[in-house]
Amino acid sequence: MRSAAELSIVTGSARTLSLPTHAIRRGTSPIDFSIVPRAVRWEIARALTYALQSGRSGVGLAAPMTGLGIRAVVSTAASAPIVMFNPRIVATSGPILSAMEANLSLPGLTANVPRNLSTTVRWQLADSGEEVTATFEGTQARVLAHEIEILDGVLFVDHAASAPTDAWMTDDERAQRAFAAVAGGDPSARHQSETLSLATIPPSMLALNGVLTRPSDDVDLDTMDGGHLRALVREMFRVMYRARGVGLAAPQVGLGLRLAVIDSGIAPPSVLINPEVIDRDGDSETEAEGCLSLPGVRGAVTRDTRIKVRTKTLTGDSVEVEFAGYQARIAQHEIDHLDGMLYPNRMERSDKLASTDAGDIADSLTQEMKRQESRYTTASRSGSAGTKGAQSRNKRRRR
């Protein structure tokens, strides 16, 4: 029987996490594979993954972030999740690119951090103890570099390209700032208020008529009170932030209007009013999606990777906006809501909804990590990691 206790993420301010006595600053000890048995190693992997899934939209986690002083990291930044024991970066290459980073142990803090496009890591596989080396690129390379340096007591803010932005804000404050970004004006200015709440529905009821399952009406900008519309947009941001979402459509708060808000955290907040997709680039990808109105489940959905949307602004102007990657997926998800379609309607019939319970996800991801380890083992024997931009070598077994 699994223990009811789970690992959790320790958090604090930048000032607190700068103390040399903090768990994140103390450094770590290698895991001795001759002492720590295979079953315990996989339990560590599962526990770290659970803590990661319990956090706020994280894609990577180092053991010290849970208070453990061991050299272990997990990442779900790529399509294949990975766990690394005793990892170390052996090389970096490619151009140096700056991008915003954050950490689950420093909620509200972001910083622009320069990193190489490619990172080569050597680590031990959890199952066999075999040592392998692989090169990672792009987002996965950044995430692994971010997490592995924590094992040595280094945080991303220590080498940020500019002063970190400390945004310890309430959901109301975040909503006010997002509204100011899309509407212009002073974030501290007072406006009309609204009180909205989230509408949810079980997957078994998606065929029933309701606000979530029928097309919405256009927002009539000629007749609708501008102050009321602005209050709705601001309140939708607040509901979205409170629910830890990245997008929210008006039907999700009971309004049959073609209105949605988006804030992925990787681009400025945006509002869509009477949006229409006018162009798609033809490329698509399949990724797991969830929905605030369908809590507890997620499913694989194929979406276009780049779209162009014609939408209205809060002032009634018509503009065309391009969305790419994650932003494109969110925009398509929200526009689907305005057409009365939820993401399960876009899933392949053979696919099933999966639980989003942190424990269930951790179990599932741990099993996938085990399958991925067999690929690295096979690759190390053939001289290739079996994935684009990766190489494995330097086999060594430790049990």
**3-state secondary structure string across 352-399:** CCEECCHHHHHHHHHHHHHHHHHHHHHHHHHCCCCCCCCCCCCCCCCC
**pLDDT above 70 coverage of the chain, percent:** 88
Task: Write down the pLDDT at residue 145.
Answer: 97
Task: Write down the pLDDT at residue 380.
Answer: 54
Instruction: Compute the average pLDDT of residues 85-98.
Output: 95
What's the whole-model pTM score?
0.64
Task: Please say whether the beta carbons of 296 and 357 come within 8 A.
Answer: yes
Task: Write down the pLDDT at residue 375.
Answer: 76
Residue whose C-alpha is closest to residue 231's, from 271, 201, 198: 271
pLDDT at 386 over 60: no
Instruction: Compute the average pLDDT of residues 353-365.
Output: 83
Rounded-to-integer distance, Cα 251 and Cα 258, Å: 8
Range of lowest pLDDT (33-37, 95-99, 373-377): 373-377
Which of these is catalytic: 43, 334, 348, 368? Answer: 334
pLDDT at 382 over 80: no
334 a catalytic residue: yes
pLDDT tens-digit readout, 262-318: 998 778 899 999 999 999 987 899 888 899 999 888 889 999 999 999 999 999 999
Instruction: Compute the average pLDDT of residues 156-167.
Output: 74
Quote the mean pLDDT of the chain. Answer: 87
Output the CA–CA distances (angstroms, integers) from residue 307 to 265, 276, 299, 322, 343, in the order listed.
19, 10, 21, 6, 17
Output the CA–CA distances (angstroms, integers) from residue 210 to 94, 203, 252, 254, 340, in the order listed.
52, 13, 11, 9, 9
| DSSP notation for 220-263 | -TTTS-HHHHHHHHHHHHHHHHHTT-SEEEGGGGT--BSEEEE-
Task: Write down the pLDDT at residue 238.
Answer: 93
**pLDDT above 90 coverage of the chain, percent:** 59
Tell me the pLDDT band of 186, cut-offs 50, 70 and 90.
Answer: low
Task: Please say whether the beta carbons of 176 and 234 come within 8 A.
Answer: yes
Tell me the pLDDT band of 56, cut-offs 50, 70 and 90.
Answer: low
